[in-house]
A and B are shown apart, each in its own frame.
Chain A
Amino acid sequence: MEILVCARRVPDTSENEIQLNSAGNDIERDDLVYSINEPDNYAVEEALQIVAKSGGNVTVATVGTDEDEEILRREMAMGANQGVLLSDDAFNGSDGKGIATVLKGFVQKNKFDLVLTGVQAEDGGAQVGGMLAAMLDYPFASLVNSIEVLDGTKLKISREIEGGNREMSEIDLPCVLSIQTGINEPRYVGMRGIRQVASLEIPTYGASDLGVDTAAVGEAAANVKRDDYFVPVLGKGAEILEGTNEEIADKLIELMKAKGGLQ
């Protein structure tokens, strides 16, 4: 099976305190730790496991700039056969639909049986996979937390729905699936593995290579635009306990006793 995984490089929120820049028009990006968007990494692992059983190849593509190559190399070190960078000044400022339009161009220049994305990006909202599927007229399923290859024409999948329930479906190939975290246990990638792929060439394709109409992508085509960033004020905020850990522990025990939570 030929599998495409669409991935993104994002600031890692588990490693960073996200702050606003002084102008308030972006987050402060200078000291951020970037990594592959976590659900995208699960998607690559899933693709590798499918190919290990059923044969085929895994291609990882990202829409971005040279800086984003690092996640492609990371996923190649995991075992992906190829990393591809989709990059063009005309793509800058694209909204979700613009990104999906670029990916559609890449899919149509190739032949993939299955396209995977992560369920959502740290700064996105679970949209590109569903848009890409609709543009290609492929079936789509979101929040996928298991995949079983039935034959060369269809998959059996489950989706994560409310309360831990799993919605089972059959879906025809080719299709687009957005992958939920926890579907598998992504393999570890060491520095040695990354060094081994450090000099491999990453092909880069622009709008004309992909047959993408530049009027349909980029900032000018975006119907959804971010005006600014701000820090939300929700609720009254917690009373912060100060002191040594021992002092804080004693204060906290008193508070919890008062709430009737401790005997």
Chain B
Amino acid sequence: MTARIFAYIVHKGGVVDDSTAELFAAAKKIDPAASPTAIVTGSGAELDAVCNSLTASYPEVWKLASDSLAYPNAELVRQALVKVLPAGSLVLLPHNHFGIDLGPGLSVKLNAAFVPDVVGIDGVDGTNLKVIRQEFGGQVSTHVRCNLASGAVINLRPGAFKPADGAAASGKVVDKSAEIGALTAKRRYLTTIAPETGDVDITKEAVLVSVGRGIQEKDNISIAEELAEAMGAVVSCSRPVVDAKWLPKSRQVGSSGQTVKPKIYLACGISGSFQHLAGLKGNPFIVAINKNPKAPIFQVAEVGIVTDMLEFLPELTNRLRAMKQVSV
């Protein structure tokens, strides 16, 4: 394979994102002989610090410095990348809020192919890159072929690629800033607003009764609350419950919500999308309660119960209450 592989490095406050090592590992899966190049945008001393830290793992680091790139606005980053990337490049991005913003449009401007949300790489066959994606909420996977003839932008799912051990390099920083020229934005960043803090802090709870779409209606939230009370737990939820305004955003577990690290996690009527699971850390004991036996949550849970949560949860509450009475 001859295409040059570039990894776009996401960083904040002078620190690189977890995806940095994952993109490197993915590049090696595409081509074990690859010498991937890190490409970094930003400004000032913070950018220099990031570039220098990257030379420990990447053999070459392209620095794109500009005051207008101080905040990573995908529209401006795209203009800069299009100026410096050679034709036929293979560009790796994390499939997070930034990669989703940048990747599709970048592929159009580079006249390259685009594959979103890649979870696995099977290698290269002729001019085709063979990758794995998931569809329908992770219920099925697909093998996908991507033609690399005119380059490609590949968005990689965060957490899907294990960083390789001991990938030590003594790389060099190449300053490409002079090539990017003037950048103009039709979308201008204003500010970032932090989420409102809620009545309870689910990130500090040891036991969470978490509800998803299977709760079906707002009035059923009380079923979960009663169980949580009987367990000494609190109620958290997945995205559809917040979308429906049945619980506040502060109760949401997932990449766009809170990152929790409970000991026990009761996932009730939650299918287990990767965005949800991304918010679940610390290797909790996961109990999946779902009437769809194909739900991906059963693949990551320790214990599964294939049943309607609306019938099972009240039963569990009753048994817990009965035991308490006996022990008192």
Instruction: Verify B136–A13 contact, CB threshold 8 A.
Output: yes
Cβ of B135 within 8 Å of any chain A Cβ, yes or no, is yes
Instruction: Verify B142–A165 contact, CB threshold 8 A.
Output: no
Instruction: Verify B195–A140 contact, CB threshold 8 A.
Output: no
Residue among B97, B147, B294 making CB contact with A142, cutoff 8 Å: B97
Instruction: Verify B299–A129 contact, CB threshold 8 A.
Output: no
Cβ of A168 within 8 Å of any chain B Cβ, yes or no, is yes
Instruction: Verify A227–B145 contact, CB threshold 8 A.
Output: yes
Contacts A135-B108, A234-B299, A245-B315; A140 near B187 (Cβ below 8 A): yes
A162 to B254, CA, bound (A): 9
Cβ of A213 within 8 Å of any chain B Cβ, yes or no, is no
Cβ of B326 within 8 Å of any chain A Cβ, yes or no, is no
CB neighbors of A among B116-138 (8 A): 116-117, 130, 133-138
CB neighbors of B among A1-47 (8 A): 11, 13-14, 17-20, 27
| Chain B window 23-45, contacts with chain A (Cβ cutoff 8 Å), 1 for yes, 0 for no | 00000000000000000000000
Residue among B146, B191, B288, B305 making CB contact with A168, cutoff 8 Å: B191
Instruction: Verify A224–B146 contact, CB threshold 8 A.
Output: yes
Which secondary structure characterizes the binding site on chain B? mixed
Instruction: Verify B304–A130 contact, CB threshold 8 A.
Output: no
CB neighbors of B among A69-96 (8 A): 95-96
Cβ of B296 within 8 Å of any chain A Cβ, yes or no, is yes
A252 to B319, CA, bound (A): 10
**Chain A residue with the shortest CB-CB distance to B318:** A249
CB neighbors of A among B77-129 (8 A): 78, 95-97, 100-109, 113-117
Instruction: Verify B101–A142 contact, CB threshold 8 A.
Output: yes
A129 to B138, CA, bound (A): 22
Contacts A17-B293, A17-B294; A123 near B135 (Cβ below 8 A): yes
Instruction: Verify A158–B193 contact, CB threshold 8 A.
Output: yes
Residue among A140, A228, A231, A238 making CB contact with B105, cutoff 8 Å: A140
Which of B52-60, B62-70, B162-170, B256-264 is found at the contact surface with chain A?
B256-264
Instruction: Verify A18–B249 contact, CB threshold 8 A.
Output: no
Instruction: Verify B256–A134 contact, CB threshold 8 A.
Output: no
Residue among B117, B146, B288, B318 making CB contact with A125, cutoff 8 Å: B117
Total interface residues in chain B, CB < 8 Å: 101
Instruction: Verify A224–B115 contact, CB threshold 8 A.
Output: yes
Contacts A13-B139, A250-B319; A161 near B285 (Cβ below 8 A): no
Residue among B187, B213, B293 making CB contact with A141, cutoff 8 Å: B187
Instruction: Verify B304–A161 contact, CB threshold 8 A.
Output: no
User: For residue A100, which residues in chain B have a CB less than 8 angstroms away from its CB?
Assistant: 108
User: For residue A197, which residues in chain B have a CB less than 8 angstroms away from its CB?
Assistant: none
A240 to B194, CA, bound (A): 40
Cβ of B221 within 8 Å of any chain A Cβ, yes or no, is no
Cβ of B232 within 8 Å of any chain A Cβ, yes or no, is yes
User: For residue B302, which residues in chain A have a CB less than 8 angstroms away from its CB?
Assistant: 238-239
**Chain A residue with the shortest CB-CB distance to B263:** A261
User: For residue B117, which residues in chain A have a CB less than 8 angstroms away from its CB?
Assistant: 125-126
A150 to B287, CA, bound (A): 47
| Chain A window 161-182, contacts with chain B (Cβ cutoff 8 Å), 1 for yes, 0 for no | 1111111111110010010011
Max chain A C-beta neighbours (<10 A), residue from B145, B231, B243, B302: B243
Since A160-B256, A171-B186 are in contact, a sample of 13 more A-B pairs with Cβ atoms closer than 8 Å, ordered by chain A residue number, is A97-B107, A97-B108, A123-B135, A170-B187, A175-B187, A178-B100, A232-B141, A238-B302, A245-B307, A253-B316, A253-B319, A259-B263, A261-B264
Binding site for A on B (CB under 8 A): 73-75, 78, 95-97, 100-109, 113-117, 130, 133-147, 149-150, 152, 155, 185-195, 206-207, 213, 231-232, 239-240, 242-245, 249-250, 252, 255-259, 263-264, 271, 285-288, 292-294, 296, 298-307, 311-312, 315-316, 318-320, 323
Binding site for B on A (CB under 8 A): 11, 13-14, 17-20, 27, 95-97, 100, 119-120, 122-131, 133-135, 138-143, 156, 158-172, 175, 178, 181-182, 185, 223-235, 237-241, 245-246, 248-250, 252-253, 255-256, 259-263
6 intermolecular pairs with C-beta atoms under 8 Å apart = A125-B116, A141-B187, A223-B149, A224-B146, A241-B305, A259-B263
Q: List the 4 closest A-B pairs by CB distance, nearest first.
A: A125-B116, A130-B104, A238-B304, A164-B195
